[in-house]
A and B are shown apart, each in its own frame.
Chain A
Amino acid sequence: MKNSGISGRNTMKNKEIAEIFRLKALRRKELARLPFEKKIEILISLQEMAQGIKSLPGRLWKI
């Protein structure tokens, strides 16, 4: 009884994790379909975030 409870919880957890990864993959495909201009805007945001972490001056695109 106890074991089936634990294995039942593990099955649920695995399903949830599988669903998380499935949604992430879906999200990546959606992002891939964005217009080029929008992707460049996201890139600039990523550069800003990275600079905040790594403190690398002069790497941001100033456009």
Chain B
Amino acid sequence: MEKTIKVIREMQESGVIKTYAIGGGIATLYYIEPTLTYDLDIFFIPTEEKLDILSPIYRYLEKKGHRADKEHILIEGVPVQFIPVYNELIKEAVENAIESKYRGVKTRILRAEYLLAIALQTFRSKDRERVIKFLEETKIDKKYFGKILKKHHLHEKFRDFRKKYYEK
């Protein structure tokens, strides 16, 4: 995966995208026990807002020899899905991502508190499960999380969630 991350970082340094962060299942795996997932989700902020923001990414990567496979692009053996930030919460999450390393290669990963908030916002059944796993398996900064919830109007949703699914 380090080769994949290197390609994405180089793409960012080339200015194809403004910034990015690993999200989804792989970001979640960073914090909790490993669970099955197949894609590397990359949330990104485009360099400019326009209608077709994925084409420059695909063109750049295809020139480097990486081929598209339906909704993914295969980069060094890993199916990668590029997701442009689609609301304020996701944008803020990418901007505040943590810097980390994978086998010596620098990368950016969404913070646990933002992953939790995004899961609450999206609220599919697998997101609900994810929220519980985060609460049970890892430490979150409660103050920081509280601020995110308040800013993005998720405070009541989290309170109701805890009541319904989590409090014993």
Using a CB–CB cutoff of 8 Å, the interface residues on chain A facing chain B are: 25, 28-29, 31-32, 34, 36-37, 39-40, 42-43, 46-47, 50, 58-59, 61-63
CA distance A50 to B36 in the complex (A): 8
- A43 contacts B33, C-beta separation under 8 Å: no
Query: Which residues of B from 73 to 117 have beta carbons under 8 Å from A?
Result: 76-79, 100, 102-103
Nearest B residue to A62 via CB reads: B77
Q: Residue A37 contacts which of B31, B35, B102 (CB distance < 8 angstroms)?
A: B102
Known A37-B102, A39-B30, A43-B29; contact A32-B38, beta-carbon cutoff 8 A: no
Using a CB–CB cutoff of 8 Å, the interface residues on chain B facing chain A are: 1, 3-4, 26, 29-38, 69, 76-79, 100, 102-103, 133, 136-138
Q: Residue A32 contacts which of B1, B77, B102, B138 (CB distance < 8 angstroms)?
A: B138
- B78 contacts A36, C-beta separation under 8 Å: no
Q: Residue B136 contacts which of A28, A34, A58, A61 (CB distance < 8 angstroms)?
A: A28
Number of A-B contacts (CB under 8 A): 57
Report A-chain residues with C-beta under 8 Å of the C-beta of B4: 63
- A32 contacts B35, C-beta separation under 8 Å: no
CA distance A40 to B100 in the complex (A): 15
Most buried by A among B33, B34, B35, B136: B34
CA distance A46 to B133 in the complex (A): 18
